[in-house]
Structure formats: C-alpha cells, structure tokens
Amino acid sequence: MRDGLYQVNHGNICGGFVVRRGKITVCAPVLRKQIEFFKTKATFIPTDTSIPPLRLSGGVFSSVSDEVA
C-alpha cells in the first residue's frame, strides 16, 4: 500500500487508517480486529504530502517533519 490516508465504508462500518513508510500508523478502533480484511475494502484518499505529520511532544501536538526528527 502506498503512504497516505485510507477510508473504509463497508456495510454499517465507516473508519479510516493512515499508512506511513508502508506500515499502518493510525487506525480507527472499529477496524483494528479485522484490519487485513478492511485493507482490501479501503479507498485511498489523496492528501497534500508537503504537510509534515503531527508529532506528540510532551502531551501536545507539534508539526515536526520526519526528515528533521
């Protein structure tokens, strides 16, 4: 899977997950137990890749890119 945001709409389930460097880094709780199945139902949502990801720093989010950290 390519890096980015994915949306899942399947039956009465709606959720999403984020892929970074080929691994799922953030996932909606409703998808976690069956993520391998939901990966096959997911739709890639294009996003602006020039915006660095948010990082949790001391309990608050800060915008620090992966390249700087």
Full-model pTM: 0.69
The pLDDT assigned to 52 comes to: 73
CA distance 50 to 52: 6
The pLDDT assigned to 60 comes to: 52
DSSP for 6-67, written as a single string: EEEEETTEEEEEEEETTEEEEE-GGGGGGHHHHHHH-EEE---TTSPPEEEETTEEEE--TT
The pLDDT assigned to 46 comes to: 87
| Chain segment 8-65, per-residue pLDDT in tens | 999 999 999 999 889 999 999 999 999 999 999 999 998 776 777 667 665 554 444 4
The pLDDT assigned to 5 comes to: 93
The pLDDT assigned to 30 comes to: 96
